[in-house]
Structure 1
Amino acid sequence: MAELENSDQIMPKVIAFLSSLLQRVSESNDLNRPLETQTISVFHGLTRPTISIQSYLERIFKYAHCSPSCFIVAYVYLDRFVQRQPLLPINSFNVHRLLITSVLISAKFMDDMYYNNAYYAKVGGISTKEMNLLEVELLFGLGFHLNVTPTTFHTYSSFLQTHIFLRSPPLQLLVSSSSSSAVDIIGRTQKLHCCFNEEDDSHQKQLAV
């Protein structure tokens, strides 16, 4: 994954893909999971932000100056979050706060140098107090499962790279686990598109449109 790791020029393509994916997931959950049926969390805003997901990601990319790996790891964290928190699907009311928080945590975990919470709060358009709260909430939501193995990183980054260079539309990539099948998961809620059991070395993949 040298291209994603070593070239800042490829990052706008990654951001464009992620924003397109998150836009699709958010819109689907807005339609299929009305807000009144969801558990409201600290990530939910009172109204939908006026800034688009892509513009928000581009803003984070421009001002956070974190390594390219952080965006891949933040993507992994979001995926883990939706798997662990099925009652908190990503939608247009929470996606921006989830993004800024996941990038903040990934930068702290991945980079030797990173900006503090007050700086990320300014980048994200929220208060420092809220940024601190969101960080704690996401950490607990992830069960403090922050480590990303080389295999997991490669799986997510390779998936992104493939679709970036093929210019394919985002697809839902779901992997069956011992407790539920991909069909069952799709039936319950729209998931981020690269959900799999990280403990399963085979990483058997099932594609679902």
Structure 2
Amino acid sequence: PQPANPTLSANVAPPASTSAQPAPQASNALSAADTRQPRPQKIKVRDLQHIQSFASEDMSAFSEIKSRSRSHSRGPEDDGPQYEISEMKVEHIIEMVAGLLTKITTTNDQQHEHLHRQPAHLEQASHLTPQTSSVLAFHGKNVPSITILSYLTRINKYCPTSYEVFLSLLVYFDRMTERVNAGPMQGLRDVNQQMYDHNRNASRASSSSDSQGTDPMEGVTATTPQGTQTATPPASGSMEKGDQQGVPGTPHSRPHQMESPSIPQAPASTEAYNLSHFFVVDSFNIHRLVIAGVTCASKFFSDIFYTNSRYAKVGGLPLQELNHLELQFLLLNDFRLSIPVEEIEAYGTMLVEFYAREVVAQ
């Protein structure tokens, strides 16, 4: 008899064994898991007109609260659509980024005018921490006349790069807000705790003196308006981090200055009252933040980038100043420029939702 065809023999499946039975069960379990947790719909956005079309059809999909939380993390309960913007023109993404940054700076300018009237100067602030000095390095004396959109367009014209560079600016600004403001916010919490402890002790002392028949006016100075004032924490910024309990970035009122010498104040608590220690994206620093961020991100994301002298000329800054700002930008980001793919995609979705809301609102 002729031997069996080796090709056919190789294709014959071996007999099933008992040890191979769990495999179908595992496959069924995975299928069941996929059924219980459907993957969110992914929509590839073509251009701005595409966003306008589906924004006008269903505005309920662009909730501001949902968008804000999605920019930081995407939980299994978030079944909203994801928007893929990698196929959009860079110019269209720049327009969306500029729109968001313009709204942020305009809002902060209106809420924090007192920060602009009395800017801290580096030459007069030798006592400032290195982190605060890095923040103040971006604060200009005047607001540049060029708009954010024109500035980003100019950068892309003379130093073209990928869309990730411009989208990453939003990520970096969020990280800087969270990292820089964590220290001052903790200082404000410490001040509030000190005030609470002091007032509680003063109240107990007053009650004790009353029960002993002493002069009821003793200890009144501890409950004067100066002694009962508390520091007001900053309000949430437009690029808010959800895990910061609504705290990052934009202080909305100047805390009252303490006058009672009986209240102990540590140096850290005193520093917390200086609102210049907070990182706030406004019209006085946005242009320097943008050109420094593009300089850093281009070198990280792209194989093709330009010299700092070119970035400085395009950005309208002296080369020495841009070199300094580049270093301060890296320091404020703790030299961590890497962004996970999931995070950059989440920010892309957030950006599309923001633009959709703005278009419909107009």
- After superposition, give the CA deviation of every residue in 1:127-160 in whole Å (9 maximum; x if it has no partner): 1101100000010011112110111111111222
> Which structure 2 residues correspond to residues 11-50 of structure 1 after superposition, within 5 A?
11-33=90-112, 34-35=114-115, 36=118, 41-50=136-145
1 or 2 for the larger relative contact order (CA 8 Å, sep ≥6)? 2
Tell me the amino acid that sits aligned with residue 324 of structure 2: L
Question: Gapped runs of 5+ residues in structure 2?
Answer: 1-43, 47-84, 121-131, 182-277
Tell me: CA distance 1:32–1:162, structure 2 relative to 1, closer, same or farther (3 Å): closer
Q: Normalising by the residue count of structure 1, what TM-score does the alignment of the two structures yield?
A: 0.72
Q: Give the alignment of 1:57-206 within 5 angstroms.
A: 57-86=152-181, 87-164=278-355, 167-169=356-358
Question: Match of 1:23, as an amino acid?
Answer: T
Q: Distance in 1 between matches of 2:87 and 2:299?
A: 19
Task: Return the alpha-carbon distance in structure 2 between the equivalents of residues 92 and 85 of structure 1.
Answer: 19
CA contact (8 A) 2:100 2:354 kept: no
Change over 3 Å in CA distance of 1:20–1:6 after alignment to 2: closer
Measured in 2, the distance between the counterparts of 1:5 and 1:116 equals 26
Q: For structure 1, which runs of at least 5 residues remain unmatched after alignment?
A: 171-209
2:333 partner amino acid: L
SS at the partner of 1:51? coil
Calculate the aligned-residue CA RMSD, in Å: 2.1
Post-superposition offset of 1:80: 1.2
Give the C-alpha shift of residue 162 in structure 1.
3.9
Contact (CA 8 Å) 2:97, 2:167: kept in 1 or not? no
Partner amino acid, structure 1, of 2:86: E
Verify the 8 A CA contact 2:176 2:333 in the aligned structure 1. Answer: yes
**CA distance, structure 2, for counterparts of residue 66 and residue 147 of structure 1:** 17
Q: Sequence identity of aligned pairs in percent?
A: 33
CA drift at 1:118:
0.8
1:186 aligns with: none
Are the structure 2 counterparts of residues 134 and 37 from structure 1 closer, same or farther at C-alpha, using a change threshold of 3 Å?
A: closer
CA distance in 2, matches of 1:18, 1:28: 16
Letter in 1 for 2:153: E
- SS across alignment from 1:156: helix
